[in-house]
Structure 1
Amino acid sequence: MPTTPAPFTADDYRARMARAADAAADAGLAGVLVAPGPDLVHLTGYRPGITERLTVLVLAAGQEPVLVVPTLEAPDAEQAPGAAALTVRDWTDGQDPYAATAPLLDVGGRFGVSDNTWAMHLLGLQKQLPGASYVSLTEALPMLRAVKDAHELARLEAAGAAADETYQEILKVRFAGRGETEVAADLAALLKQFGHSQVDFTVVGSGPNGANPHHEAGDRTILHGDMVVLDFGGLKHGYGSDTSRTVHVGEPTPAEQHVHDVVREAQQAGFEEVRPGVACQEIDRAAREIIEEAGYGDLFIHRTGHGIGVTTHEPPYMIEGEEQPLVPGMCFSVEPGIYLPGRFGVRIEDIVTVTEDGGRRFNNTPREMAIVE
């Protein structure tokens, strides 16, 4: 049985916070403000409940990290995995939390703010510090969580392997005559069986529903002769899985097989483009070129990929205009698709990581079309 990875240590979180503070300084920011959400989990290991009370991590180069929390949540904050690497400062109900936070900030500085910060909190800080300005972390520090260390890569690899096991098992169930929601429930149960603590999505797009890339499993009954898009994932050991395969109930028509072959060739082309120094947009271009040459360019209606880590969607993004060069340790999806309205869709997706001399897949199930019953 695979072993559970060792927990991240306070030193791991200390190093992450220091890198974030230094990156902010290099970007001309006075500091970083991190609200509850994936950035806070990545930097501190603290995962508080989302409430109207202000919780914010304040990072600035040359200063000790400070986590501002409501007094009633201070005991939990002090037990967070990264608590030994920061100072917890609490505020009580009835006190102005923004006035309590303001002394930690440069009154005229420009701060990166985590994207999921509540507007009421940002407005409260602006009222206290009218001379400060703010920019989203995705804009200012898009690579904050993008490059994974060896411990993170091991978690992503384990999550990918669990998703692969899920796919191999779902091929054994009956599709024809069952509802999309029934197959989706099977996927969710299998993800849990293979170690996922959280299931984020189980897309089952049968027949014409497969032409909607983000179709949620519905009440449609899957029929013999349907193409079925499967896209599923969640979190294992705190890190994401996300894979797509397209199966067929019974033998496909030559036209269906042709579309699937084009998508498989495009997915392979995108993967083969992965190596250090290549711009993210080149992954999109490589996959899109295959689909355009086959005459389906207008039917590939989304980006080729997205980053993955403590969430299943995060920077970097594999799309035209994204010139960020690939760096070893980056992890992202390669998932081209073709969607024929009213007929069917095809998508094939693997999570890959950038190595020193190329790329490595975390999903390794066959990409050829599987035939199901």
Structure 2
Amino acid sequence: MAHDPNLYPADRVVRAQKAAAEAGLDALLVSPGPDLRYLTGYEAQPLERLTCLVAPAEGEPFLVVPLLERPAAEASPAGGLGIEIVGWRETDDPYALVASRLPSGLGRIGLDNHMWAEKVLAFREALPGVEQALAGQALGELRMRKSDAEVRALSEAASAIDAVHLNVGEWLKPGRTEREVGRDIADAIIAAGHARVDFVIVASGPNGASPHAEVSDRVIQPGDPVVVDIGGTMPSGYCSDSTRNYVVGQAPEEYLRAYGVLLAAQTAQTESVIPGITSQQLDAIGRDLIEGEGYGDYFIHRTGHGIGLETHEEPYIVAGSQRTLEPGMAFSIEPGIYIPGAYGARIEDIAVCTRTGGERLNRVTRELRVLA
């Protein structure tokens, strides 16, 4: 699948340099991970050898890579950005190399939030007296507001994971284990167009009361409610994440009542997305409804998380957050009800805040799927 040419635009590094200056950072140092891919399109391998984009607030950025990785860097979108790619040999000290090329008089540098500790400490030694801070205070603000191309990539990811949910009934059968069903779902995630599987949750019966349950060897029984939460990463680098609920045969009446409450809450939240609403307000819309029906103690997590090049990123839809939602912000809406020892239920869609409201990217029915 060809990537949208606007997905990794050449001006991102320049905008990151400006954001760094506004955040009081003299330079950004970005190692392999989502920040590097966001800025350059380069999905570098996270190795013990240093790969690092160096972006001073003022001056020319450059990309330091192990010499043996330079062909891969040049072949990636980073090779077309006009940024110098500097290869270092096995006997070189890459941290000293970076320090020697940075402007003098640095006071504060931003390191990407996922940089390995050994690299953080090596930069501390190579740049004595320079304060280290998180680059996320600058980069997070950029990544949180998705471009039209990014929204298209997230929409493609949502459609791909929807295609998997449409076929869950082929694999979810009484007598099979969660692990067996999970393997079939993982294969389907790849077949639907994802580059990799990020997670598969198949939580049946009482296992559904654990929001992040691992697949187990529990045999699925007739009458079991089953939470299926799945996601992967597309070739574009953008992620999918969606949860739907299934029941094998006749579900318990109490579960059906709880599911009706949950569906009403999740629907109300997705229909309330609009520029200007705060994360806390959006969380409260579903939480208040669930609490009003007597299930408040069983909604034990935030409403949602941002999504993009990572499954979990800013903004977080959670009580206490005064962050105002803006056009381009993409996030999950996934309230849940979890009854210990009995069952769980969670409905999750990815939504995007637009100029006029919200758009739900996942289109598969949110109704409970009853399987024969």
Partner residue in 2 for 1:258: 257
Report the Cα offset of residue 7 of structure 1.
4.2
Partner letter of residue 69 of structure 2? Answer: E
Q: TM-score, normalised by structure 1?
A: 0.94
Q: Is the 8 A contact 1:143 1:316 kept in 2?
A: no
Q: Is the 8 A contact 1:328 1:354 kept in 2?
A: yes
2:85 pairs with one of 55, 77, 88 = 88
Partner residue in 1 for 2:190: 192
Flag structure 1 segments of 5+ consecutive residues without an equivalent: none
Report the Cα offset of residue 139 of structure 1.
4.3
State percent identity of aligned pairs: 44
Q: What is the rounded CA distance, in whole Å, between the counterparts of 2:87 and 2:154 in structure 1? A: 34
Q: What is the rounded CA distance, in whole Å, between the counterparts of 1:211 and 1:12 in structure 2? A: 40
Q: What is the rounded CA distance, in whole Å, between the counterparts of 2:92 and 2:172 in structure 1? A: 59
Partner letter of residue 104 of structure 1? Answer: R
Report the Cα offset of residue 259 of structure 1.
0.8
Q: Is the 8 A contact 1:273 1:282 kept in 2?
A: no
Q: Deviations over 1:296-346 (max 9, x none)?
A: 222111111111112211111111232222121111100010111110000
Report the Cα offset of residue 269 of structure 1.
2.1
Q: Deviations over 1:17-52 (max 9, x none)?
A: 112111111112112111101111111111222211
Q: Deviations over 1:65-99 (max 9, x none)?
A: 21111222222222221223211122222222111
The runs of at least 4 consecutive aligned structure 1 residues that moved more than 6 Å come to none
Q: Secondary structure of the equivalent of 2:60? A: coil
Q: What is the rounded CA distance, in whole Å, between the counterparts of 2:249 and 2:141 in structure 1? A: 44
Partner residue in 2 for 1:313: 312
Partner residue in 2 for 1:326: 325
Report the Cα offset of residue 234 of structure 1.
0.3
Q: Secondary structure of the equivalent of 1:276? A: coil
Partner residue in 2 for 1:179: 177
1:129 pairs with one of 110, 127, 130 = 127
Q: What is the rounded CA distance, in whole Å, between the counterparts of 1:5 and 1:94 in structure 2? A: 38
2:13 aligned with 1:30: no
Q: Is the 8 A contact 1:172 1:372 kept in 2?
A: no
Q: Is the 8 A contact 1:180 1:206 kept in 2?
A: yes
Q: Secondary structure of the equivalent of 1:240? A: coil
Q: What is the rounded CA distance, in whole Å, between the counterparts of 2:338 and 2:259 in structure 1? A: 11
Residues 336, 256 of structure 1: alpha-carbon distance in 2 compared, 3 angstrom cutoff: same
Flag structure 2 segments of 5+ consecutive residues without an equivalent: none
Question: Structure 2 matches for 1:1-373, cutoff 5 A?
Answer: 4-8=1-5, 12-85=8-81, 86-106=83-103, 107-237=105-235, 238-373=237-372
Report the Cα offset of residue 14 of structure 1.
1.9
Q: Is the 8 A contact 1:207 1:345 kept in 2?
A: yes
CA RMSD, 1 decimal:
1.7
Q: Secondary structure of the equivalent of 1:353? A: strand
Q: What is the rounded CA distance, in whole Å, between the counterparts of 2:333 and 2:125 in structure 1? A: 43
Partner letter of residue 301 of structure 2? Answer: H
Residues 320, 139 of structure 1: alpha-carbon distance in 2 compared, 3 angstrom cutoff: farther
Q: What is the rounded CA distance, in whole Å, between the counterparts of 1:5 and 1:259 in structure 2? A: 43
Residues 143, 249 of structure 1: alpha-carbon distance in 2 compared, 3 angstrom cutoff: same
More deviation in 257-266 or 108-117?
Answer: 108-117
Q: Is the 8 A contact 2:262 2:335 kept in 1?
A: yes
Report the Cα offset of residue 15 of structure 1.
1.4
Q: Is the 8 A contact 2:25 2:57 kept in 1?
A: no
Q: Is the 8 A contact 1:211 1:339 kept in 2?
A: yes
Q: TM-score, normalised by structure 2?
A: 0.94
Q: Is the 8 A contact 2:222 2:250 kept in 1?
A: no
